[in-house]
Amino acid sequence: MSIIYLVRKKVFPKAGEKMTQWFAVQRKIQKKSGVTNRELARRLSQYTSFKEGEVQGILIELVKVIENTLQDGHSVTIDGLGTFQTAITSNGFDRPEQVTPREVCLSRVYFKADRKLVEFVRRAKFIRYPLSRYFPASMLGKEVIEEEEENFPEE
């Protein structure tokens, strides 16, 4: 598998001057619903003896169990995947008794990926999306354009 990236210019101040550098950025923001439950179930069913519908049901129930467990004040760790946790907050008060339950709220639910998962994804190869598809030809060398035409036929 490979992760496709773009190259973007970033300008930032340095010692009173504007400095410009080029950086790799994601080709597109990953969709919130990139791979759906249905697709996950289909893929999982290929590796197990469970049918796709059974896996879909398990995924739906897994979400409910994670929700309830977090709501009970516990974190949820799925070995090899990571940990779901909550963070709470409140406004500041002068006296401790003023910090009542109605003043407390959830600030976020977050996910910390398992180290093994991070290391696995870190080994992904990267492919630069052809510069000629989003930069004017005047900014690119002839060699770059020729190489991209050979390696990346039109979509």
**What do you get for the CA distance between the two ends of the chain, in Å?**
19
Q: Is the residue at 24 inside a domain?
A: no
Which among 25, 55, 74 is the end of a domain? 74
Which among 44, 74, 104 is the end of a domain? 74
DSSP H helices, 48-138, are: 52-71, 115-122
**pTM for the whole structure:** 0.71
Which among 54, 74, 94 is the end of a domain? 74
Would you say residue 155 has pLDDT above 60?
no
Which residues make Cβ contacts (< 8 Å) with residue 54, sequence separation at least 6?
45
Domain that holds residue 42: 35-74
Contact (Cβ atoms closer than 8 angstroms) between residue 127 and residue 5: yes
pLDDT, tens digit, for every residue of 57-103?
A: 999 999 999 999 999 999 999 999 999 999 999 999 999 999 999 99
Contact (Cβ atoms closer than 8 angstroms) between residue 27 and residue 6: yes
Reported confidence tier of residue 31, pLDDT bands at 50, 70, 90: low
> CA–CA separation, 52 vs 95, rounded Å?
55
Do 84 and 108 belong to one domain? yes
**Number of structural domains in the chain:** 2
pLDDT, tens digit, for every residue of 115-136?
A: 999 999 999 999 888 998 888 8
> If DSSP codes are grouped into helix, strand and coil, which group holds residue 125?
strand
Do 68 and 96 belong to one domain? no
Across the range 27-36, mean pLDDT stands at 67
